[in-house]
């Protein structure tokens, strides 16, 4: 057993973004949190932001343990208080990118007040909310989002409360970026987190996710995979959807997509505007004038752009390399043929993902080349399939 763990630790593509010295994690098989963390780690890599300047804050609960597994500055705080702690971090050092990763009970239940006020202030935070309709850590109690009639340990005869629709709540509170996906939409989750990391203002990303141990078992909904099937069957992709129409009924339709993306001054920008009017151009926050801070921000943005360009170039080169046929009889070809299927798939995925985001061209290129070459096409076709699969699934 322990050797398996060691192998996993050594071979994980996320080894630099996760705290491998804390593995294995506590999440159950079939739980959605793991795939969300994977999406998050991937989004951080793809965003090009400096991981040293990233802080992850969690509250309490199963999702609250995320902070303990990500290899960034991380804080595991009290129940519901991740957002105000994150607010303190962001305001005390505006250079930092601050992510709150917690569950719906933590964020919308005990921490509901902080959630709406951070959204109201347009506090520059990324909030990732794992919504599994249950308090998992304490044994499966009803939460503010549990759909009507669902069984929970504290609603043993069925839930009779009206649940929150979190996108609607966030929209009303003033959030400037709101997206919802399910844990099946891992590529879209990655995409949304990446967008949120690179923008200013309050971003809220809800991820509907299965809790096989408590919610699914109590409601006789099968295991994690069965629930992913439900997500696939019942998700309705609707970018820009009216958030008033995003309620989720028990095993009902789930409207997913990016609902809101708009710009308005963040809390700190509003502070700056007010103070510069008062004090004049000499105004400093923590010893730095506004032009000084803007110059630093610009320099950081350029670094991010350079990192992203380098990653894209690398991905394109990789895609090219993957498309090349191995020369028969050489050692390299034998080696390539021996690469396990999973690894091939992973590399194809890696190549396809950034390429698809930048433009459709590189993918097409690969696809066009594919039929002519015999050895590589499998990977290339797979790359194309992966790139297309995600949006297709949501277009039910």
Residue 58 or 145: the one with the smaller Cβ distance to other proteins is: 58
Q: Which of 145, 138, 260, 130 is nearest to 182 (CA)?
A: 130
Burial annotation 15-26 (CB, 10 A radius, 16+ → b, else e): eebbebeeeebe
Q: Does 74 bind other proteins (CB under 8 A)?
A: yes
Q: Does 55 bind other proteins (CB under 8 A)?
A: yes
Q: Does 95 bind other proteins (CB under 8 A)?
A: yes
Q: Does 90 bind other proteins (CB under 8 A)?
A: yes
Q: Does 71 bind other proteins (CB under 8 A)?
A: yes
The Cα–Cα gap between 21 and 34 comes to 16
Q: Does 138 bind other proteins (CB under 8 A)?
A: no
Q: CB 51 → other proteins: shortest distance, Å?
A: 8
Q: Does 92 bind other proteins (CB under 8 A)?
A: yes
Q: CB 10 → other proteins: shortest distance, Å?
A: 19
Residue 74 or 132: the one with the smaller Cβ distance to other proteins is: 74
The Cα–Cα gap between 18 and 86 comes to 20
Q: Does 281 bind other proteins (CB under 8 A)?
A: no
Q: Does 89 bind other proteins (CB under 8 A)?
A: yes
**Options 37, 41, 43, 86; binder of other proteins; rule CB under 8 A:** 86
Q: Does 72 bind other proteins (CB under 8 A)?
A: yes
Q: Does 37 bind other proteins (CB under 8 A)?
A: no
The Cα–Cα gap between 384 and 170 comes to 35
Q: Does 304 bind other proteins (CB under 8 A)?
A: no
Q: CB 147 → other proteins: shortest distance, Å?
A: 28
Residue 88 or 252: the one with the smaller Cβ distance to other proteins is: 88
Q: Which of 49, 50, 67 is nearest to 58 (CA)?
A: 67
The answer to whether the beta carbons of residues 355 and 362 sit under 8 Å apart is yes
Q: CB 103 → other proteins: shortest distance, Å?
A: 16
Near other proteins by CB under 8 A, which window of 17-25, 161-169, 171-179, 224-232?
17-25
**Options 9, 12, 15, 76; binder of other proteins; rule CB under 8 A:** 76
Pairing of strands 203-208, 177-182: parallel
In the chain, where does DSSP find H-type helix?
A: 2-11, 33-47, 82-92, 104, 112-120, 166-173, 186-198, 217-218, 224-234, 267-279, 290-323, 331-338, 341-358, 361-369, 377-394
How buried is residue 76: exposed, middle or buried, by Cβ count under 10 Å (0-12/13-18/19+)? Answer: middle
Longest Cα separation, the chain: 76
Sign of CA dihedral 266, 195, 173, 95: negative
Near other proteins by CB under 8 A, which window of 69-77, 156-164, 207-215, 237-245?
69-77
Binding string, 232-271, against other proteins, x = CB under 8 A?
-----------------------------------x---x
- Both tokens assigned to 301: 């943005």
Q: At what angle do helices 267-279 and 82-92 cross, to 10 degrees?
A: 40
Q: Does 283 bind other proteins (CB under 8 A)?
A: yes
Residue 277 or 395: the one with the smaller Cβ distance to other proteins is: 277
Q: Which residues bind other proteins (CB under 8 A)?
A: 19, 21-22, 52-53, 55, 57, 67-68, 71-78, 80-81, 83-93, 95-96, 113-114, 117, 267, 271, 274-275, 278-279, 283-287
């Amino acid at each position: 057993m322990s050797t398996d763990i060691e192998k996993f630790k050594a071979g994980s593509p996320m080894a630099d973004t996760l705290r491998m010295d804390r593995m294995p994690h506590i999440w159950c098989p079939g739980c959605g949190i793991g795939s969300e963390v994977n999406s998050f780690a991937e989004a951080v890599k793809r965003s090009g932001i400096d991981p040293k300047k990233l802080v992850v804050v969690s509250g309490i609960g199963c999702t609250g343990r995320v902070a303990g597994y990500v290899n960034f500055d991380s804080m595991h705080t009290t129940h519901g208080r991740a957002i105000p702690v994150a607010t303190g971090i962001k305001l005390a050092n505006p250079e930092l990118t601050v992510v709150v990763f917690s569950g719906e009970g933590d964020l919308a239940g005990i921490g509901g007040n902080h959630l709406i006020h951070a959204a109201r202030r347009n506090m520059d935070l990324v909030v990732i909310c794992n919504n599994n309709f249950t308090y998992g850590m304490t044994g499966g109690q009803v939460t503010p989002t549990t759909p009507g009639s669902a069984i929970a340990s504290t609603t043993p005869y069925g839930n009779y409360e009206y649940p929150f629709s979190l996108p609607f709540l966030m929209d009303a509170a003033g959030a400037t970026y709101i997206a919802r996906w399910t844990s099946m939409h891992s590529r879209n989750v990655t995409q949304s987190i990446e967008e949120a990391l690179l923008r200013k203002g309050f971003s809220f990303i809800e991820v509907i996710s299965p809790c096989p141990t408590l919610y699914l078992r109590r409601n006789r909904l099968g295991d994690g995979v069965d629930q992913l099937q439900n997500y696939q069957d019942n998700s309705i992709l609707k970018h820009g959807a009216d958030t008033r129409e995003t309620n989720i009924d028990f095993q009902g339709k789930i409207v997913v997509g990016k609902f809101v993306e708009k710009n308005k001054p963040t809390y700190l920008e509003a502070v700056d505007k007010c103070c510069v009017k008062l004090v004049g151009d000499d105004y400093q926050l923590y010893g730095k004038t506004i032009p000084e801070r803007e110059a630093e921000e610009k320099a950081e943005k350029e670094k991010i752009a350079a990192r992203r360009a380098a990653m894209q170039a690398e991905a394109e080169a990789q895609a090219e390399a993957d498309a090349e046929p191995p020369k028969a009889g050489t050692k390299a070809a034998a080696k390539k043929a021996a690469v396990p299927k999973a690894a091939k798939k992973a590399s194809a995925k890696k190549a396809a993902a950034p390429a698809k985001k930048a433009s459709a061209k590189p993918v097409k290129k690969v696809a066009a080349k594919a039929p002519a070459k015999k050895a590589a096409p499998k990977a290339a076709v797979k790359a194309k399939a992966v790139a297309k699969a995600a949006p297709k699934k949501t277009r039910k």
